[in-house]
Structure 1
Amino acid sequence: MQKPIGLICAVVLALSAAVNAQASTLEQLVRAYAEQRDFSGVVLVARDGQPIYQAAFGMAQPAWKVAVTDDSVFRIGSLSKPLTATLVMRLAEIGRLNLDETVATYLPAAYAGTDAGKITVRQLLAHTSGLADLPSRYTDPFWSKDARRHYTPKEFASEWIPGALASEPGIWRYNNNGYYLLGMIVEAATGKSYAENMKQYIFAPAGMQDSGVFDGRTIIAKLAQGTVQADDGTRLMPPYIDPSVSYSAAGLYSTALDLVRFDAALAGGRLLNQTSQRDMFTNRGKGYGYGWEVEDWAVRKDAPLPVVLHTGSVPGYQSIFVRSLSDHVAIVILDNAWQGATVVAMARDIADLVHGKAVALPRRSLQAALGPILFREGLDAMRAAYIRLGVRESTMYDVSESALNAFGYSLLRKGQPEAAIQVFRWNAEAYPLSHNVHDSLAEALLASGDREGARAGYARVLALDPGNRHATEELEKLRHTPP
Structure 2
Amino acid sequence: MPAPFRHSSLAVTLLMVLLPFSSVFGQTGTPPIPPFDDFMNGLLTKHKIPGGSLAVVKDGRLLMARGYGMADPANKLQAQPDSRYRIASLSKFITAVTVLHLVEQGKLTLDQKAFALLPDLTAPFGTQEDDRLSSITIANLLTHTGGWDDSSAGSGFDPMFASPTITAALGVSGPASSENTIRYMRGQKLDFDPGLYYRYSNFGYNVLGRIIERVTGMSYEQYVRTQVLAPMGIAGTRIGNSLASGRLPGEVAYSPNGITDNVFPEDADQQVPWPYGGWCVECQDAHGGWVTTVIDYARFMTAVEGRRGSSFLTPDSIAAMTARPGARDWDNASAWYGFGIMVRPVTGGQNWWHSGSTDGTTTYQIRSSNGFNWIVFLNWRPATNDGINAIQNEIDSGLWNASSKVTSWPDVDYFATSYPDVDPAQAAAQPFISARDGVLNSATLDRGVVSGSWGLIRGSNLAPGTRGWTPEDISRNRMPTSLDGVSVLVNGEPAYLFSVSPAEIAFQAPQDLPSGWLPVEVKINDVSTGMVLAHITRNAPGLFTYQENGVTYASASQDDGSELTDGGATPGQVISLFATGLEPTRAGIVASMAQQAQMPVVTIGGINAKVRTTALVGPGVFVITAVVPDMPSGDQAIVLTSNGVDSPFGVFLKVASSQSGN
In structure 2, do the counterparts of structure 1 residues 138 and 164 end up closer, same or farther at CA, with 3 Å as the change threshold?
A: closer
Q: Deviation string for 1:427-463 (max 9, x for gaps)?
A: xxxxxxxxxxxxxxxxxxxxxxxxxxxxxxxxxxxxx
> SS at the partner of 1:109?
coil
Identify if the C-alpha distance between structure 1 residues 329 and 88 changes in structure 2 by more than 3 Å, giving closer, same or farther: same
| 1:226 corresponds to which of 250, 254, 259 | 254
Map 1:5-16 to 2 at 5 A.
none
- The answer on whether the counterparts of 1:74 and 1:223 sit within 8 Å (CA) in structure 2 is yes
The structure with the largest strand share of the pair is 2
Q: Given the alignment, which residue of 339, 349, 355 partners 1:311?
A: 355
User: In the TM superposition, what is the alpha-carbon distance from 1:144 to its structure 2 partner?
Assistant: 8.2
1:328 aligns with 2:371: yes
* Deviation of 1:313 (Å): 0.9
Whether 1:238 and 2:274 are equivalent positions in the alignment is yes
Structure 2 vs 1, CA of residues 36 and 209 (structure 1 numbering), >3 Å: closer, same or farther?
same
Change (3 A) 1:54 1:137: farther
1:206 matched to 2:217 = no
Going by fraction, where is helix more abundant, 1 or 2?
1
Task: State the 1:357 CA deviation.
Answer: 9.2
Equivalent pair of 2:321/2:338 in contact (CA under 8 Å): yes
Shift, 1:164, TM fit:
3.2
Question: 1:117 maps to which residue?
Answer: 134
Give structure 1 stretches of 5+ with no counterpart: 1-19, 298-302, 359-483
* Residues 216-365 of structure 1: pairs in structure 2 closer than 5 A: 216=242, 219-229=247-257, 237-239=273-275, 240-268=278-306, 269-284=310-325, 285=327, 286=330, 287-295=336-344, 303=347, 306-324=350-368, 326-339=369-382, 340=388, 341-356=390-405
State the SS of the aligned residue for 1:279.
helix
Q: Please, which runs of 5 or more residues in structure 2 have no aligned partner?
A: 1-29, 124-128, 168-173, 260-271, 331-335, 383-387, 408-662
Per-residue deviation, residues 321-373 of structure 1 (Å, max 9, x unmatched): 1111x222001000101143335412322123314599xxxxxxxxxxxxxxx
Conserved? CA contact 1:132–1:162, under 8 Å: no
| CA offset digits 1:92-143 (Å, max 9, x no partner) | 1011112111023311233698421221111111111103648898999965
Match of 1:49 in 2: 60
Task: Describe the shift of the 1:64–1:71 C-alpha distance in structure 2 as closer, same or farther (beyond 3 A).
Answer: same
1:54 Cα deviation (Å)? Answer: 2.6
In structure 1, C-alpha distance between the alignment counterparts of 2:110 and 2:151, rounded to whole Å? 24
1: CA distance, partners of 2:179 / 2:38:
49
The structure, 1 or 2, with the larger RCO (C-alpha pairs under 8 Å, 6+ apart) is: 1
The answer to whether residue 186 in structure 2 is matched with residue 175 in structure 1 is no
Partner Cα separation in structure 1 for residue 157 and residue 77 of structure 2: 29
Letter of the aligned partner of 2:193 in structure 1? Answer: E
Distance 2:117 2:159 in 1: 31
Change beyond 3 A, Cα 1:140–1:174? closer
Using the aligned pairs only, state the percent identity.
Answer: 26
The letter of the residue matching 2:285 is Y
Give how far 1:22 is off. Answer: 8.8
Q: TM-score, normalised by structure 2?
A: 0.46
TM-score by length of 1: 0.62
Alignment of 1:123-134 (within 5 A): 123-131=140-148, 133=150
Q: Indicate the structure (1 or 2) with the bigger Cα radius of gyration.
A: 2
- What's 1:403 paired with? none
Q: Secondary structure at the match of 1:54?
A: strand
SS at 2:354's partner residue? strand
Is the 8 Å Cα contact of residues 243 and 251 (structure 1) preserved in structure 2?
Answer: yes
Q: 1:185 to 1:144 in 2, by over 3 A?
A: closer
Q: Distance in 2 between matches of 1:214 and 1:21?
A: 30
Q: Tell me the distance in 2 between the aligned counterparts of 1:22 and 1:60.
A: 19
Contact 1:266–1:272, Cα closer than 8 Å, also in 2: yes
Does the 8 Å CA contact 2:178/2:284 hold for their aligned counterparts? no
Secondary structure, in 3 states, of the residue corresponding to 2:102?
helix
- Given that 2:257 and 2:359 are in contact with CA atoms closer than 8 Å, whether structure 1 keeps it comes out as no
Residue 165 (structure 1) aligns with: 190
Alignment partner of 1:334: what SS? strand
Distance 1:140 1:115 in 2: 19
Letter matched to residue 185 of structure 1: I
What displacement does 1:242 show? 1.6
AA in 2 matched with 1:176: N
Q: 1:139 to 1:166 in 2, by over 3 A?
A: closer
Distance in 2 between residues matched to 1:163 and 1:108, nearest whole Å: 16
Structure 1 distance, partners of 2:31, 2:82, is 24
CA contact (8 A) 2:354 2:365 kept: yes
Q: Distance in 2 between matches of 1:216 and 1:230?
A: 16
The 2-side partners of 1:155 and 1:61 are apart by: 34
**Take 2:115 and 2:40, find their aligned partners in 1: how far apart are those partners?**
48
Which amino acid is the alignment partner of residue 262 of structure 1? F
Contact kept? 1:307, 1:322, Cα under 8 Å? yes
Corresponding residue for residue 74 of structure 1: 85
Specify whether residues 357 and 59 from structure 1 end up closer, same or farther in structure 2 by C-alpha distance, changes over 3 A only. Answer: closer
Aligned residue for 2:221, secondary structure, equals helix
Report how far residue 229 of structure 1 moved.
4.5
Q: Within 5 Å, which residues of 2 pair with 1:147-166?
A: 149-162=174-187, 164-166=189-191
Q: Cα RMSD (Å) of the superposition? A: 3.2
Q: Relative to structure 1, is the Cα distance of residues 142 and 52 closer, same or farther in structure 2, using a 3 angstrom cutoff?
A: closer
How many pairs are equivalent? 329
CA distance in 2: counterparts of 1:105 and 1:25, whole angstroms:
51
Quick check: 2:91–2:290 contact (8 Å CA) kept in 1? yes
Change in Cα spacing, 1:353 to 1:173, as seen in structure 2 (3 Å) is same
2:117 corresponds to 1:106: yes
Distance 2:96 2:159 in 1: 28
Letter in 2 for 1:81: K
1:264 shift after superposition? 1.8
Provide Cα deviations, 1:225-283, integer angstroms capped at 9, x if missing partner: 1113469xxxx943521224422111111100001110221121442111101110123
Instruction: Specify whether residues 153 and 36 from structure 1 end up closer, same or farther in structure 2 by C-alpha distance, changes over 3 A only.
Output: closer
Match of 1:88 in 2: 99
1:52 Cα offset (Å):
2.2
> In structure 1, how many angstroms separate the alpha carbons of the residues matched to 2:117 and 2:234?
29
The Cα of 1:83 is off from its aligned counterpart by 0.7
Deviation at 1:44, TM superposition (A): 1.3
Counterparts of 1:144 and 1:155, CA distance in 2 = 10
**Match for 2:209: what amino acid?**
G
Distance in 2, Cα, partners of 1:154 & 1:134: 23
Measure the CA separation in 2 of the matches of 1:274 and 1:191: 27
Aligned equivalents of 2:355 and 2:255: distance in 1? 18
